[in-house]
Chain A
């Protein structure tokens, strides 16, 4: 299938009314939730396409001989301040601020212009009229308002908007920059882990996020499984962390794969700001910001893959970067897996569930059936064995509505939106 359709990021806006997706072809598609229909009180509104636009184009940096993909790595919404919506979208090198606005009326009745825009011969004008606004079919327009370019030598993996709503950070493999949303010709470097001698490189930055409430605090994760919390009040360059979160490893268990599978692919603060969640290859960990030496909760996503690491290394799947997300009340966390499976963990009941996003379950209002993978031994009916899993069907990107139990799950090139059954 057409590879440009591969979904590369999914994000709800702050109200949950809008859902943005970015793809490998550099496009952004925004869905809008229908207003609740009073006659259909048994379901929440559906999401329909609201706007679609080309955010980034492929580029070639001739000086460095570098191909720059147009793939959208991340989208982050700004909170809504007026009628228009704003979002940041980024590819490997350039971040753009997009304004999405609605137009539902147009001026008509100009004296000097025809309705189609042609100018009238002034000598034919005999009376004057006052132009008025008349309703028109809703048009949604996206326009780029700011382009933040040329600040990253390496590939951007994260953007995060500060709780001050004025600044945001962008992180690449070795550096993190702080921007002001209004200013495109300057950014401040706040983290730089590039060694003087590149041969001494041992770890890279894999994700970064601002704290949801403290505008001076942010975290960044590494390929070695550590998370550093930094306070921008401490110094201009936050190379020295305020806190270092790392789970001690059992040295006798160390293997060739240990570091690769410990690499953190995503880090997300809880809405409360008290916890943060990290995703590594096999698990999801919840950290209490007050405790650096180990996570408070660990959830196994697909432990059965531990005995398949050799083949997962050979087919490169071991480098897949899964994301994770919290529900609105921070009681449930969700992440994707292979075979179009995704997993949810309830932090209170300690129950977990595996669900599948596939066309077979595609009929609206079908209740999803829990799935189960059989790691070894006799496979029960309805279970799927590890060797039958399709590793090409990966769910890397998922999002949870900020207020309701509505989730968006992206398979390779399809988007699924699920909501919980209402009685």
Chain B
């Protein structure tokens, strides 16, 4: 059986599938769309919130504020604990 030369794009696709065999069969698209729409979402629902609250009872609240990379359900900042943004520097580096 003759092996066709793959286009660069198809060759890259083969590389990706070799690395991640469980990657969805459908072409890349919808998963990214949903991720894009959910940008900024901290908690999935109140169940998520309560799970995190239960876990937090056994943990000390970190003083620096929640790590953005924490999986939801593991940590729950109260409004008071939300990362306090550094006071706005009126001068950006461009204006300095």
- Interface of A with B (CB < 8 Å)? 2, 4-5, 7, 21, 23, 25-27, 29, 49, 52-54, 57-58, 60, 62, 64-70, 92, 154-155, 173-174, 198, 201-204, 223-224, 253-260, 306-310, 313-314, 319, 413-415
The CA of A313 and the CA of B28, in the complex, are separated in Å by: 10
B12 cross-chain contacts in A, Cβ below 8 A: 255, 257, 306-310
Would A259 and B27 be within 8 Å (CB), given that A26-B88, A49-B95, A154-B37 are in contact? yes
Which secondary structure dominates chain B's binding surface? helix
The CA of A203 and the CA of B8, in the complex, are separated in Å by: 25
- Would B13 and A319 count as touching, CB distance under 8 A? no
- Give the 10 A-B CB pairs with smallest separation, nearest first: A307-B8, A309-B12, A255-B13, A65-B43, A310-B15, A310-B12, A49-B95, A259-B29, A67-B40, A255-B9
User: 19 A-B Cβ contacts within 8 A?
Assistant: A5-B93, A23-B92, A25-B88, A52-B92, A54-B88, A65-B43, A173-B36, A201-B34, A204-B33, A223-B33, A253-B7, A255-B9, A255-B12, A256-B13, A256-B16, A256-B17, A257-B13, A260-B28, A307-B8
The CA of A27 and the CA of B92, in the complex, are separated in Å by: 7
The CA of A331 and the CA of B19, in the complex, are separated in Å by: 44
Mask of B7-51 contacts with A, CB within 8 angstroms, 1/0: 111111101110100010001111011101101111100000100
- Interface of B with A (CB < 8 Å)? 7-13, 15-17, 19, 23, 27-30, 32-34, 36-37, 39-43, 49, 79, 82, 85, 88-95
The CA of A57 and the CA of B29, in the complex, are separated in Å by: 32
By beta carbon, the residue of chain A nearest B17 is: A256
- Would B93 and A413 count as touching, CB distance under 8 A? yes
